[in-house]
Structures are given as structure tokens and as C-alpha cells.
Structure 1
């Protein structure tokens, strides 16, 4: 299992950074290799990615979500095994630290070589910087979901 952790400070309020991160379908705007993310329901998404010529599709489930604090997920199907968490830390009224941690199981020669030379870590760093640019240029989130999810398979709190 490989792990990457990256933090970026964004010049927007905590709720703005958090709300934008919950808009999964906007991820192709700032994540390299992500072709599309389709939100199936409040806790499930379908991803299509193309990294180094390898096109993959997989599903994810939100396993924990607490407004203005964290979003955690894991893959549930497809040929990509991974999990992650993004946490949000208030630095001031208009500044937030976003920390991304990803755990995954590289498969095949290309993914194992990429992992060995740190390509995945560089991509996460690049994506974090792109998220910063995306949200700071907009100044406002494109939407937001403020529900809570506490355990895998639990029914989410859909109050907004």
C-alpha cells in the first residue's frame, strides 16, 4: 500500500473550501487525469480516469463526512483500490489549510514504477495547487453538500 499526503493553504473561508470539495463532479477542473466524476447518490460516485494512457473506471463510497472538517472515501468496485481523506483547518477568517491523504495499491508495471519514482505524489501536489487556483479565482464555491456521514453503509444525514 502506498500513501501520499499533501497540504495546501487556500485564501478562502473554511466553508467555501469545504463546500467546493463536496462538488465531486467539478474535480476534472483541477485534478489531472480525471475525465469525469458522476455522483450517483449522496455517498456514491463513479469515476473515469486516464493516467499515463491507462483508462480506469471505479466507484467510491463516502465513508465519513462532517461539514467543514473532513471527507473520507474508499473505492468499492472497479480495478482501482484506494481510500483517502481530505481535512479542512481554519487558519483565519479567509484562509484554510486543505490536507489530502491518499492510500492506494499500485497495480501493474506502470503504476509500480510511477509509485517508485514519486509520480503520484507530484500529481497530488499539482492537483492541490490547481484546487487552490480554482477556488481562489472563483472566490465562491460552485455548490455544497453539508450532510453528515458517520459509518460505512450508514444512511447519510441529508439535512442541509
Structure 2
């Protein structure tokens, strides 16, 4: 059973700000609540450590597409099956929309339950909300 998550958030920050924050791997644990670490292995591959309710996961993901201020796509090459894309859309000079799409194969009871109850989408929506706060603070110069 494959599961799909699609979530969007509108941000009071230009696309350039949203892009700069999301494309900085070191910042991911500050807005992705389940991400404990992301370690670059080279320019395109990253080792992830996740802590999810009832399960810790580790995997290696590879960037499959990077178009500055437009999209970042990835897929796993070791560990769990997972692929996704985040896209950046200009709404106007001062605001943007970030869309996140993830495809994954639930493994174990907790992940199946999360997929069945849409808890995975709730978590993704929460993380996008955290990203929104960070991007809006950055755009305002509130560090």
C-alpha cells in the first residue's frame, strides 16, 4: 500500500526567502518536527535520521531535481521507500506558496495507522506551519 501526502501553505515572504530556507539542509530539523538530523554525504545525497511516534528511521535520499526558486525533488536510495517534491510559487512580490508532495510505503502498524487516519498529513501540515513561521520571521528580519 502506497501513501501520498499533498499539503500547501501560503507564506508572507517572497519566493527567494522560502527557497533559501528550504534549500539549506542544516535548517530542516528546525521546521521538520520528525527530522533529527540530515547529514550531507555529497552534493546530491543526504543521510536522514527521523524520530516518528513508535519508530525511528534512517535512510539515504538523493536529490533528483533542483530548479532554484522553483522545485526540489528527491527519492530514497537506501532504507525506506520515500520520494517527494517541494515546489515554490510566487503569489506576489511579498508572498509565496510552498507545496509539498510525498509518496511513501508505510511500514509497520504505526505508519499504516498514520496513513489510514491521515495523521501523516496532519504532521506534514504542522511542519509546513513551522516553516511558514520561520520564513515570515526571516522576511521581517526577526531572528
Aligned to 1:112: 112
Q: SS state of the match for residue 41, structure 2?
A: strand
Q: Is 2:52 aligned against 1:51? A: yes
CA separation of 1:140/1:44 partners in 2, compared to 1, >3 Å: closer, same or farther?
A: farther
Q: Using the alignment, how far apart are the partners of 2:13 and 2:111 within structure 1?
A: 34
RMSD: 1.4
Question: How many residues are aligned here?
Answer: 140
Q: SS state of the match for residue 128, structure 2?
A: helix
TM-score under structure 2 normalisation? 0.93
CA separation of 1:35/1:94 partners in 2, compared to 1, >3 Å: closer, same or farther?
A: same
Aligned to 2:90: 90
Q: SS state of the match for residue 138, structure 1?
A: helix
Aligned to 2:126: 126
Q: Which runs of 5+ in 2 are unaligned?
A: none
TM-score under structure 1 normalisation? 0.84
Contact preservation (8 Å) 2:14, 2:139 = no
Larger helix proportion, structure 1 or 2?
2
